[in-house]
Structure 1
Amino acid sequence: MISAAVVAAVVGLVPAVAQAAGPSAAGASPTTGAGSAPAPAAVEQAAKDALAKDRAAKAGARAGAPKAVAGPGAAPQDPYFELAMGSTAFYGHGVDIAVSVATDLTEGRIVYDIDWGDGRILQSTGDVTQDRLFEHLFAEVGSHRITITATEQTSKRTATIVRDVLVNGSEFVPRTPARLLDTRDGTGAPAAKAVAPYATTRVRIAGSAGIPAGVTAVALNLTVTDATDAGHLIAYASGTPQPTTSNVNFTAGQSVPTLAIVPVGADGYVELANRSGGTVDLIADVTGYFTQSAANGYTSVKPSRIADTRDGRGTARGQVAGQSTFAVQVAGQGGVPAQGVAAVALNVTVTDPKGPGHLTVFPSGGQAPSTSNLNFTTGQTVANAVIVPVGPDGRISLRNGAWAGTDVIVDVTGYYSADSEAAYLPENPKRAYDSRLWGPLAGQQYKSLGMWQPGRRLEAVVLNTTVTDTQGSGHLSVAPDPLDSATVTPTPPDSSVLNWTKGATVSNLVQADIFLTTGIDVWNRGWEPIDLIVDRVGAYDRN
């Protein structure tokens, strides 16, 4: 079994005229895509290194133990037979272990009986001098108790070791949207005060809105508003270096939302950095969190349009009136099961609004929370990724918080359920592609990007996509790359992930399906060239 190194990214844009930062010389080639994973030898070595530490600790303890006084004809040392174990976890559900015995025996055969703690038992035999390597996939994430017994076949000496191992994957716990931070009124902040230029504010995750300690990542809808200068926002785990990337770009006076799946620091906080020369107000709304215990895994689906008020698909035809709410059936639609769905991953677009306002997405059956998912101005087309719990009737609700009407489009990209197998693995920022190194992406053309990593059976990758240097209007689509794309031109999907106008820099989160393939196709659905930046922020690894 192999696994991937921790990778990821978000786009770093300079705080001037909301332009994307200059391309890095270390950027990926136009054909390689995402970051590399450790070779099998590296994974095995990590387990062996852990074994060596355990073996050394036991040898030290043995050397410091009182020795029996040797009598006439006694053996030169006391007999001993100890079992050592090292483990490493690079996967969503799996673990690699290395075991060996330390003994005065110079030869013999060892029988290893391994109880993985999940009802499965493995027996293996090896030489007394050998280190043995084993790998195992668990059905569930979380902590698992492994019991290993080693028995030498001739002498019948035996030793047992019991260890708890924690696999890396996390599963999702949705919650009704709740506001954790609003610097305008002091919610979750020391005071009602805008974030200063090039300053950082902290968002408490653990202990807020019922979120427990120890969560690995959190789904936040971040909104920048009242900006006095152009720049970008960076969200990252507390206690880690600030990335040179970004989650969202903004211009002076603009209100811009984005969904971010952010690793949580060991102290339970995330950091939000204002990378501009002016002040900004920041808002953070939580829709769920990831934890290393059994909850809801992820299943990706082919991007599908399940609601469009322009043509009456999935809802009533005609614009959603101001200050009104409508419901969309998601269970049983667009590849989503009819039962057992806890939350859905969507891309929601507002278009042709007749006035400024915001849109709120929430589970059906309750009141609209005082949160928002999209902000818009008159006539603007804007999209944002959304993760939202599903109501008991299998529907979600969308509220138009403006005073005037607007059209709304809903595309589904995946869902979370107890039966879904893929666990989330947060990754460090990693740039997968930057067309500024290779030339712009022409209108109505696509870019294929490899996302496969050896040793992982990936369900989906989590990306931050950015378009910049746009020479016209258009929208971006992302779809799995067909395995025969080298000989057959792929067909673009009828869904979109972001929209732009001439001269704009726009970002959005994408949870891209790659389960039955090895990469993605990113389509420029405009007629004029754009520069495309794709950063990787995480992945879902299947059982």
Structure 2
Amino acid sequence: SQGGYTLTISGANFDSTSSVSIGGVTAPTVGTITPTSIQVTVPSGIGQQSVVVSGDNGSSGVNNLFTYYAGGSYTAITPTRIVDTRSGATDPATYAGKTLNSSNESLSFAVAGVGGVPSNAVGVALNVTAIAPDTSGYLSLYPSGTSPPATSSLNFAAGSYAVANMVFCQIGTNGSVTVANFKGSVDVAIDVEGYVVSGSGDSFDTVSPYRAIDTRSGANDPSTYANETFGAGQTRSFQITGSGSPIPTSGVSTLAITLTVVNTKANGFASVFATGTPSTSPPTFSDINFSQGQTVSNTVFVPISASGSISIYLNQSADVVVDVVGWFGSSGKDQVFLTSPVRVADSRSASGYQDAGQTLSGVVGAPDTVTFAPTLIPTGVDGVIGNLTVTNNSTAGYLTSWSSSITLPQVSNVNWSSPGTYANAAVIGTSSTNQSLITSNAKTDFVIDVSGFFAPTI
């Protein structure tokens, strides 16, 4: 955030010697200090920062009471690779050979002014792929210039072919984002798929999540594309608007979807894009990577054609499932607000977070409730930008999250075909009291990390 607005701090024993700093930067006082109130002008900053009041009566101590949000409108772009750490990478070559080889090794990379992202962008949508990890671990992405968060953006197992996940991230100092490796050695490829800028533009609107495409044999909700498994190297188009769809027939630029690939016959990848694009065929980017026999999901903010259709390309034979959770366009009502990622819930025993010890039972009709505290997410937002992770499971399964104000939708957010730790970005619906429900058809622990939300304003 650029700061510049007024913040009121309430307390006790303030006097004329009292001063305020936010993130170690002095916040100039506005008006007269009273014994119980100080008004200050907020300096520019990123993420969660400490607010400290100091004076002759002592100091308030260090805390994390203030959160900077960077907000604005969203624009989808043709996916462009901006990072590839593999040895010999040429498109781009900027980070070639910079494999993340040790625990907690990080790489900061420029995003503002790169790959079609304007220099004044405050946030980006990235598709991040971990390639050939030699041990199980995770990556964390966060705004450069902030402390590494206690969150994960992408989880992978040793020897994985390639694991991808979408990350919506606030841009940090020097127009950069940082990716940190937890342990071991792993290469990283990052494609930029869209950006957020302050001011007018495409805004977001939620819909009750629904299944729009299912090509599996016997699919009946919907049955429109049942028994239409993709062949290797096939591109197919799907009409999204019209015929009772909740997506408007005009003024929509981008869909927010969960793309799942199932019944995979070989290692491969899938790409999703507006029908009639891109200029290259097949596409030179991927939205999801899969191994033979794997079921895997990824969230995609995909441009939609003027006629309301999207296209999907698979380089290997598989089935696809697409769930729609929202859209961006000229008549959307919500801006995108981003901040440093923060952990909200963790059901693992003694995690110290909300829902500790609340392992999901595997009974779909017995969901757990998650509340997004107003100290992290303002009350009354229309949805949260999160990362959902499952772990400590012993069977295949799926996980679904949704607003507590609606009935359970017949969709999924995370899918897994064998026991392990898996993550997927998600647009998580919330009620007017900032509550969501989460359930799974398999016994599993879950973790929720949040990096932003959708709201008209804050």
TM-score using structure 1 length: 0.66
Alignment correspondent of 1:235: 141
In proportion to residue count, which structure has more helix?
Answer: 1
1:380–1:203 distance in 2 versus 1, CA, 3 Å: same
- The equivalences for 1:309-388 within 5 A come to 309-310=215-216, 311=219, 313-315=223-225, 317-332=227-242, 334-367=245-278, 368-388=282-302
Larger radius of gyration: 1
> Is residue 463–residue 537 contact of structure 1 (8 Å, CA) maintained in 2?
yes
Alignment correspondent of 1:430: 342
Do residues 418 (structure 1) and 339 (structure 2) align? no
Secondary structure class of the residue paired with 2:174: coil
Alignment correspondent of 2:306: 392
State the Cα distance separating 1:39 from its structure 2 match: 9.6
- Counterpart AA for 1:209: G
> Is residue 77–residue 116 contact of structure 2 (8 Å, CA) maintained in 1?
no
Q: Which runs of 5+ in 1 are unaligned?
A: 1-37, 57-84, 91-165, 483-489
State the Cα distance separating 1:416 from its structure 2 match: 0.7
Q: Deviations over 1:463-501 (max 9, x none)?
A: 11111000222100111103xxxxxxx843210001124
State the Cα distance separating 1:369 from its structure 2 match: 3.1
2:445 pairs with one of 531, 535, 540: 531
- The equivalences for 1:123-522 within 5 A come to 169-184=71-86, 185-186=89-90, 187=92, 189-198=94-103, 199-254=105-160, 255-277=162-184, 279-310=185-216, 311=219, 313-315=223-225, 317-332=227-242, 334-367=245-278, 368-402=282-316, 405-436=317-348, 437-444=356-363, 445-451=366-372, 453=374, 456-482=379-405, 491-514=407-430, 518-522=434-438
Distance (whole Å) between structure 1 residues aligned to residue 131 and residue 308 of structure 2: 33
1:238–1:88 distance in 2 versus 1, CA, 3 Å: closer
Structure with more relative contact order (C-alpha pairs < 8 Å, separation 6 or more): 1
Distance (whole Å) between structure 1 residues aligned to residue 84 and residue 145 of structure 2: 22
1:51–1:374 distance in 2 versus 1, CA, 3 Å: closer
- Counterpart AA for 2:453: A
- Counterpart AA for 1:426: L
State the Cα distance separating 1:509 from its structure 2 match: 1.0
> Is residue 456–residue 541 contact of structure 1 (8 Å, CA) maintained in 2?
no
Secondary structure class of the residue paired with 1:206: coil
> Is residue 315–residue 328 contact of structure 1 (8 Å, CA) maintained in 2?
no
> Is residue 70–residue 122 contact of structure 2 (8 Å, CA) maintained in 1?
no
Distance (whole Å) between structure 1 residues aligned to residue 209 and residue 241 of structure 2: 15
Alignment correspondent of 1:67: none
Distance (whole Å) between structure 1 residues aligned to residue 30 and residue 407 of structure 2: 54
> Is residue 309–residue 408 contact of structure 1 (8 Å, CA) maintained in 2?
yes
Distance (whole Å) between structure 1 residues aligned to residue 69 and residue 84 of structure 2: 35
Distance (whole Å) between structure 2 residues aligned to residue 274 and residue 439 of structure 1: 28
Q: Deviations over 1:85-117 (max 9, x none)?
A: 976699xxxxxxxxxxxxxxxxxxxxxxxxxxx
1:522–1:220 distance in 2 versus 1, CA, 3 Å: same
> Is residue 469–residue 530 contact of structure 1 (8 Å, CA) maintained in 2?
yes
State the Cα distance separating 1:515 from its structure 2 match: 5.3
Distance (whole Å) between structure 2 residues aligned to residue 496 and residue 361 of structure 1: 18
- Counterpart AA for 1:386: V
> Is residue 69–residue 339 contact of structure 2 (8 Å, CA) maintained in 1?
no
State the Cα distance separating 1:41 from its structure 2 match: 5.3
Distance (whole Å) between structure 2 residues aligned to residue 54 and residue 240 of structure 1: 27
> Is residue 169–residue 340 contact of structure 2 (8 Å, CA) maintained in 1?
no
Q: Deviations over 1:493-519 (max 9, x none)?
A: 210001124531011111112255631
Secondary structure class of the residue paired with 1:267: helix
Alignment correspondent of 2:51: none
1:307–1:420 distance in 2 versus 1, CA, 3 Å: same
State the Cα distance separating 1:216 from its structure 2 match: 1.3
Q: Deviations over 1:15-66 (max 9, x none)?
A: xxxxxxxxxxxxxxxxxxxxxxx99959xx9xx989963559xxxxxxxxxx
Secondary structure class of the residue paired with 1:169: strand
Q: Which runs of 5+ in 2 are unaligned?
A: 1-6, 21-25, 33-38, 45-67, 349-355
Distance (whole Å) between structure 2 residues aligned to residue 516 and residue 460 of structure 1: 10
> Is residue 180–residue 188 contact of structure 1 (8 Å, CA) maintained in 2?
no
1:478–1:334 distance in 2 versus 1, CA, 3 Å: farther
Secondary structure class of the residue paired with 1:241: coil
Distance (whole Å) between structure 2 residues aligned to residue 525 and residue 39 of structure 1: 46
State the Cα distance separating 1:365 from its structure 2 match: 0.7
> Is residue 178–residue 369 contact of structure 1 (8 Å, CA) maintained in 2?
no
- Counterpart AA for 1:320: F
TM-score using structure 2 length: 0.78
Count of aligned pairs between the two proteins? 387
Distance (whole Å) between structure 1 residues aligned to residue 77 and residue 96 of structure 2: 26
State the Cα distance separating 1:239 from its structure 2 match: 1.4
Secondary structure class of the residue paired with 1:276: coil
- Counterpart AA for 1:477: T
